[in-house]
Amino acid sequence: MNYDFDLFVIGGGSGGISTARRAAEYGAKVGLAEMGRLGGTCVNVGCIPKKLMVYAASFPSIFKESEGYGWSPVNSSLNWSHLVTVVNQEVTRLNGIYLKMIDNSKVTLFREKARFLDEHTVEVGSSQIKAERILIAVGGHPVRPDIPGIEHTVVSDDLFTLPEQPKRIVILGGGYIGVEFACIFNGLGTEVTQIIRQEKILRGFDEDIRTEIQEGMGRSGIRMFTSTCPTLIEKTDDGLKLTMAKGETSEIIVADAIGLAATGRIPNIANLGLELAGVEIKNGAIAVNAESQTTQPHIYAVGDCTNRINLTPVAIGEGRALADTVFGGKPRLMSHQNVPSAVFTQPEAATVGLTEAQAREEYGDDVKIYRAKFRPLYHTVSGGEDKTMMKLVVQQSTTKVLGAHMVGEHAAEIIQGVAIAIKMGALKADFDATVGIHPSAAEEFVTMR
């Protein structure tokens, strides 16, 4: 069979573009279809604009804390329109960089939607393209829960471009996206209420991280309703009226905006024609093996559409491993173990490896916990109330460090370095033998006893 491309990629996010470029570097003829903005969720409605807004939200606390060091009070106000404009300008700049990278790699870009016609044929606009291998990298999108009046809410993707800053906002959901947006809007001066179905935020994270962040959010003024379910949303002259139920009781909140920031995301696999290609869907995601192959060995999938670990660096790693293996003659697998991650809340958190609960489930009593909680030096003068929490999860018999968790300033930067040690199988003795940098918060990881 004559093929138009050695590899055709459906989706122009981080995973799809990194795979396409790496394969092209090895000499493969590559095509890529993306009808939306290049860069996917991370660049356009995720990591990048979110982190910029996290920075913006941090300035009021810095202004206040500076007074403890002798600076005069700062009277400043936020220009919401300017913030939204500069954030989106940066997104647009990155879109241009992605386009240049594709052009420089000699990847053929199709600005239309793609769908399968059969296992080797893809319909792109009015064209039919045949490819020897095909990669699906279509990402995911937010889910709207089935609540009467849900059409009056905005999903997390839209919170970056609200025309006006809401004076009052309700965030539905307690996952990492929800708590990040709650902290962002709180820092920017919006009155924030968060509603979660469970007793604690951040299900799946270490219990100490969940507790420390939830308490920190409460201290910062975020109002949180736990074990509570929204039941009705109505548009009124005073704003959006939200009715919620907790057990046998109900309560009403009125807000200017209701954000669905953490009610789940699902793969963008509708209308892809996967059934025509014989690609299996399992639990709402594309089923793949360790080599990112679907049920058709020549069709691959990476990133959020596989619902393995939905993080941008993971999608990039999966894609590059695929390209190295198939086109570069360098067989390797992307490891999904000990993947570090962060939650950009106030206070910030980061984690790598097993939680305490996961370790005890796997190793039983053969687990020892090292934990430190202290007031950072910065706040001894600033007057800030946030504490730093650090934690190591260790297998007692081998002294292997199974996990590291932190809540506090610069947690992501610190855990990134710790993750290297854990990935290499470091023992607690290796941490103990490492000289700390003094004075720093990070040194606590090598002085815990």
The residues that are catalytic are 438
Q: What does the alpha-carbon distance between residue 33 and residue 192 come to, in Å, rounded to a whole number?
A: 39
User: Quick one: pLDDT at residue 156?
Assistant: 87
- Backbone φ and ψ for 276, nearest 5 degrees, come out as -75, -25
Structure tokens at 379: 């706040």
Which tens digits make up the pLDDT trace of 29-83? 999 999 999 999 999 999 999 999 999 999 999 999 999 999 999 999 999 999 9
Instruction: Report how far residue 320's alpha carbon sits from residue 80's, in angstroms, rounded to the nearest whole number.
Output: 39
Residue 144, classed as helix, strand or coil, is: coil
The pLDDT of residue 143 is 85
* Other Cβ atoms within 10 Å of 118 Cβ, number: 13
- Domains in the chain and their CATH numbers? 5-141+266-326 (3.50.50.60), 150-263 (3.50.50.60), 347-446 (3.30.390.30)
pLDDT in tens, 205-244: 999 999 999 999 999 999 999 999 999 999 999 999 999 9
Q: What is the DSSP letter of 155?
A: E
C-alpha span between 24 and 7 (Å, rounded): 9
Give, for 187, the enclosing helix (H) or strand (E): helix 176-187
Q: What is the pLDDT of residues 413-428, one digit of tens each?
A: 999 999 999 999 999 9
Closest-CA residue to 350 (of 304, 294, 289, 418):
418
| DSSP-assigned states of every residue in 88-125 | HHHHHHHHHHHHHHHHHTTPEEE-S-EEESSSSEEEET
Pairwise CA distance, residues 132 & 291, whole Å: 17
Secondary structure (3-state) at 208: helix
Q: Are 403 and 206 in contact (CB under 8 A)?
A: yes
pTM for the model: 0.96
pLDDT at 397 over 90: yes
Residue 446 · residue 419 · CB < 8 Å: no
In this predicted structure, what is the pLDDT of residue 168? Answer: 98
Q: Residues with Cβ < 8 Å from 443, sequence gap 6 or more?
A: 436, 437
Asked if the model's pLDDT at residue 346 lies above 70, the reply is: yes
Decide: 367 and 356 in contact? Cβ < 8 Å: yes
Peptide bond into 347 cis (omega under 30): yes
Does the pLDDT of residue 262 top 60, yes or no? no
pLDDT at 279 over 90: yes
Q: What is the pLDDT of residues 123-174, one digit of tens each?
A: 999 999 999 999 999 999 988 888 999 999 999 889 999 999 999 999 999 9
SS3 404: strand
Q: Mean pLDDT highest for which of 153-167, 262-276, 348-362?
A: 348-362
Residue with tokens 């916990």: 369
Rounded to 5 degrees, what angle do the CA atoms 152, 156, 158 make? 70
Q: Which residue stretches of 348-425 are H helix?
A: 356-363, 377-382, 411-423
pLDDT in tens, 75-98: 999 999 999 999 999 999 999 999
Q: How confident is the model at residue 1 (pLDDT cuts 50, 70, 90)?
A: confident
Reply yes or no on whether the pLDDT at 261 is more than 70: no
Backbone torsions φ then ψ of 426, nearest 5 degrees: -60, 145
Query: Residue for token digits 């996967």?
Result: 274
Residue 179 CA from chain centroid, whole number: 12
Over range 282-293, report the average pLDDT.
97
Helix (H, G, I), strand (E, B) or coil at 81: helix
Helices (H) and strands (E) in the chain, counts: 12, 24
Query: Which residues on adjacent β-strands are paired with residue 192?
Result: 169
CA distance 443 to 422: 16
| Helix boundaries (H) for 174-262 | 176-187, 207-219
Does residue 21 have a pLDDT over 80? yes
